[in-house]
Amino acid sequence: MAIKGNLIIGQSGGPTAVINSSLAGAFEAAKAAGVKKIYGMHYGIEGFLNENIIDLKKELKDSADVSLLRRTPSAFLGSCRYKLPKIEGNEEVYEKIFSIMEKYDIQYFLYNGGNDSMDTVKMLSDYAEQHGKTQKFMGIPKTIDNDLPITDHCPGFGSAAKYIATTLKEVIADAECYGPYRTSALIVEIMGRHAGWLTAAAALGGNKPDLIYLPEVSFDPKDFVKRVKEITKKKSSVVIAVSEGIKLANGEFVSAQGADAKKDAFGHTQLSGVGDYLANMLTAEAGIKARAIEFSTMQRCATHVVSKTDSDEAYNAGYMAAQKALEGCTGEMVVIKVESRAPYVTSYSTFDIHEVANVERTVPLEWITNDGTYVSDEFIEYAQPLIEGEIDAYYSKGVPQHLTLSE
């Protein structure tokens, strides 16, 4: 394999508990291939545009650093929410990116992220092809939302699902401790804008919620109140898992009812508060004492309950992305194929980024059961292998140790 230049990797979008495992895999593949300089983008493509570049060989000096990196939450290199503009009319942005790559002799560009990040890979590879550039661009899948197409599942989802199943099991045990002497409802709000994969993971624990609501089907407030009231006739403690992105029949987000919706950097409506809204609804309309908890960013940063399967697959995805880029591949994303779920056997390949970017995969409707209030055994069979296995943290003074940038 003839190495023609240096390699750089960036992390983008919301972090996951295993995004740094992908970084570790890409770094070790590039190092093993003899790449002279292995760079990291400090704060993704946004940092790169400001030449905020890290020498990764100075940060990852030995195997102990790499091992600790895989146990470190958040994005080690820093992330961003910057979306590249379309090529037409914004050529100066792309010329700046390529001029920086040429300045640092960067021939291989890896980007680790979700839908919008894969769009970045697509546009950069398109621009390179249109203008006769030789640099190679590869995407590494990452999202706890599990909504990237083509790949069977996304690195990051398994660990978030493991956290949800684990925490819900504990929360349900806590909610049931008062027995028949106190009737109450607990709404657990889980991430998921249009895809309910994470909320569906609530069904993976030993203790399971009474109802599960995903954004793939319309939410009926009256039916919701009726169902909870019926459940309280049989048991005193009701636990309900809801996606933050559940919508009414008219397409409006439930969380936006009675409030002005805010937008994020990509123009997406910011979602939060659906749990509180539903808890207040139960109290007002059914007289049930109700409260809500929001898992929020804890779902994506809980490396203390990371899935070993997920971490290993994230590492392998990063490793393959670097290998393929060094072999000359460009404009593709690494995908995971499951050959068998029992026993669990996977393989890896790459796929045209144009079939991936800006395409969102949702939970199959046939996996949503009980009139839209639960998930099927097929989902459990799909997701169960992804949360298997544990990786022990390295502890010091009673808390896990993490790797931090020296610069």
How far apart are alpha carbons 254 and 247 in whole angstroms? Answer: 5
Kindly give the parts of the chain with pLDDT less than 50. Answer: none
The H-or-E segment that residue 310 falls in is helix 308-327
pLDDT of amino acid 257? 77
Helix, strand, coil share of the chain (percent; to 5): 40, 20, 40
pLDDT of amino acid 182? 86
Coil, strand or helix: which one is 21? helix
Contact 310, 318 (CB under 8 A): no
Q: Are strands 374-375 and 368-369 parallel, antiparallel or unpaired?
A: antiparallel
231 Cβ contact partners less than 8 Å away, ≥ 6 residues apart: 210, 211, 238
pLDDT of amino acid 256? 83
How far apart are alpha carbons 217 and 286 in whole angstroms? Answer: 23
Residue whose pair of structure tokens reads 């002497």 in the numeric block? 181
What amino acid positions are annotated as catalytic residues?
Answer: 145
pLDDT of amino acid 269? 59
Residue whose pair of structure tokens reads 């770094």 in the numeric block? 27
The torsion angle over the Cα atoms of residues 211, 216, 222 and 225, rounded to 10 degrees, is: 20
pLDDT of amino acid 258? 53
Coil, strand or helix: which one is 158? helix
